[in-house]
Structure 1
Amino acid sequence: MKFNEFMGALRKEIPHVCLLAGEEHYYVDKAVDAMKRRLFPDGAGEDAIERVSGDMDIDQLIGLVETVPFFSDKNVIIVQEPPFFKAAGGKKKDTQATDFAKGKKTADKKMTRLQQLIASPPSFSYVIFLMKEKPDKRKKITKAVEQAGLILEAEPVRAWNINDWLRPKLRALGKELDRDAYEYFLNAISMMQQISLSYLDQEFDKIALFSSAPRITKKEIIEVFAGLPEVSVFALVDAISAKDAQKSLALLMRQLSDGTYFTVLLALLARHVRQLWQARLLMAQGVRGRALAKPLELNPFIAEKLGQAASRFSDTQLKDAYLSLVDADYLMKTGQGGNELLEHIIIGLCA
């Protein structure tokens, strides 16, 4: 289940077994913190939580779960990167996973005992399995956890589904974004190659701390992204999309004078040209408007806007620009070219 659904389930009843899996550590960390608060409301006893490696022998893990706690009424165990949830033949060669995949009797018996324990854990024990990869849902052990407890699928947040994080965050703060602020936020997110929810969470908390107004303004959102070079170049990309050569060149000079490295500009321009090209290819196949969002992994509003911009360019124009950016990357890094290469590419795009 997704994060919001998982947190809703936690409010009803704390499960004795949980699997928190996925690349988005922000959601995993939040889920662990929520479980700790439910298990230890006053904080007393948290220091008794045991963290163990997933490489631990299964019999030892079973013994740990079945051991009655001495200094607390709860036995909480966090198991890091257990290999037995992974698909056979994964990236890591773990002894347990290999043994189980080969069907060795010893491993099979151990896994059966662990499955039985998960199905009926001691009333005093709580086991939290953590892993960065997706679990293999076909495995009996995964199905056992799903039936007896909860599984969180912490998938990375992308620009196209950022509202899954934004809406509950604003609700928790008792805030809302005004229209201009929301549009700027979506545009800024679309420029980020990797979205850090931890960073956004912290910055939105700061806004709530220093402002009592119910609405967050565009000015406040601009300040949130001010320190991120990939977002500060957004105005330049927007001017190129509008084919405004004069404004584009002026913004390029401002970025360079502000100290933005040419490598950052090259990467972001190449990404934008690639997105425009992809949008044109999709539109040629009949995919238009907000339907561009999913294949491009963009927010529907931004995808529609990108599609409108893509229609202003020709395939040849975008192909030439992309190849020129690749050449410029080599020439500028080897000292054989300067900022004039970027100027030439931008002029070509705005023609």
Structure 2
Amino acid sequence: MLDIGTFNENIKKNKISNCYVFCGNDEQLIKEGIESIINKAIDKSFLELNYLKFDGNSLESFDAVVNACETVPFMSDKKVVLVYRASFIEDDGGESNKFSGDKAFNAVLEYVDNVPAHCILILYDVFKGKRDKPGKRLYKLDKKATVVKADKIRGQQLEGKIKGFFEVRNKKIGKVELRAFSSLMEDNNLSIIENEVEKLCCYVEDREITKDDIKTLFLKANDDDIFDLVNPISQKRVKDALEVLNELIYKGEKIPYILNMIERQFNLLFKVKLNIENKKSKQEIMKALNIKSEYACDMLMGQSKKFTLKQLKRAIELCLIAERKMKSSSVDEKTEMELLIINTIAG
């Protein structure tokens, strides 16, 4: 049984089987896999003639699928026949459908071993629950077809795949930098991640990759800017904080937006600080506050340690006061922001 990463690598190398069975929790990942097969196997000019789809829930027998597979492709070496919602491939699936049960599954099992060379037969079904695992039927199919488990890879497995992308490009990346890079790859699409690896390698050229390189290229600009503004505030450096504020205004950021982002940052830091004082782990903090990136969480945890809870609560109150003033009177917005920074540092 292949993971989605190995499947993608095989497709890139033109290692294409003539029968695939996809299973897993991530339907989007399954659809992307099917799309990659179609793009490799069929000329787009004749796609409608050589790509046939069947709804597994509507099948009364497997005969229609077999007939589609046996018919030779039009002006092409290959055709693709897809059966989606193929719940009959799961141990407890499709029992309410006309085409279901052991007899139906055995008909499929017998045919997948005899799919003609001109056809690529694809079946897929999405697991009903996150904890569902492949059953006996899928393992039986795995002996006769290429079964692909389409779940997003995470943790050390994801880091291993990403490290491989760097190694192919003869580029070394340290463990800390690899973890930081991996944590920022929220999409988890290996093709997109490989493009980001290429981007980073081109950016650093012949020198070593640093965390600053990763931060510069991949941390969202707005989050990065606000972090850079709050950082000198946390270190009580009024001049540096005002310089960052002026840079943001010069770049075209609107003052109400900057204020909103600062308030959001202080709120987030307050929650992170509260969790740290309650002895919560980094993983627990990420889950509780819906922080997707370990790298971003590390930065927030580090920054929160420079404030007390009382200081963060005071900073949030000052933001709300400044917001009310800007909305209710004709004050100079830039002056209000400067006073906010000064008062936050003084508090």
| Mapping of residues 290-329 of structure 1, within 5 Å | 292=285, 295=288, 297=291, 299-300=293-294, 302-322=296-316, 325=319
Contact 1:6 1:152 in 2 (8 A): no
Distance 1:83 1:345 in 2: 60
Distance 1:143 1:323 in 2: 59
Cα offsets for 1:222-254 (capped at 9, x unmatched)? 763599444454422443444433322211210
Contact 1:280 1:307 in 2 (8 A): yes
**2:129 pairs with 1:167:** no
- CA shift, 1:320, in A, is 4.2
Structure-2 change in CA distance of 1:281 and 1:217 (3 Å): closer
| Mapping of residues 42-191 of structure 1, within 5 Å | 47=47, 50=51, 52=53, 57-59=58-60, 63-64=64-65, 67=68, 68-71=70-73, 75-78=79-82, 82=85, 107-112=96-101, 115-116=105-106, 119-122=109-112, 123-124=114-115, 125-129=120-124, 135-136=128-129, 144-145=137-138, 148=141, 149-154=147-152, 163=159, 166-177=162-173, 182=177, 186=180
- CA shift, 1:17, in A, is 1.0
Cα offsets for 1:28-50 (capped at 9, x unmatched)? 5764466458x74x989994652
**2:224 pairs with 1:235:** no
How many correspondences in the alignment? 320
Cα offsets for 1:41-72 (capped at 9, x unmatched)? x9899946526485973348872355213126
Contact 1:20 1:154 in 2 (8 A): no
- CA shift, 1:255, in A, is 0.8
Q: Normalising by structure 2, what TM-score?
A: 0.62
Structure-2 change in CA distance of 1:21 and 1:341 (3 Å): farther
Larger Rg belongs to: 2
Contact 1:22 1:153 in 2 (8 A): yes
- CA shift, 1:212, in A, is 5.7
Cα offsets for 1:183-237 (capped at 9, x unmatched)? 9x949976x9x76967665454345568763744678657635994444544224
Q: Normalising by structure 1, what TM-score?
A: 0.62
Instruction: Select between 211-220 and 267-276 the one with higher mean Cα deviation.
Output: 211-220
One-letter amino acid of the counterpart of residue 70, structure 1: V
Contact 2:26 2:152 in 1 (8 A): yes
| Secondary structure, aligned partner of 1:176 | coil
One-letter amino acid of the counterpart of residue 238, structure 2: A
Identity %: 17
What 5-or-longer segments of structure 1 have no aligned partner? 86-96
- CA shift, 1:325, in A, is 4.6
Distance 1:196 1:340 in 2: 43
Structure-2 change in CA distance of 1:303 and 1:242 (3 Å): farther
Name the Cα RMSD after superposition.
5.3
Q: 1:256 aligns with which of 249, 257, 271?
A: 249
Structure-2 change in CA distance of 1:84 and 1:16 (3 Å): closer
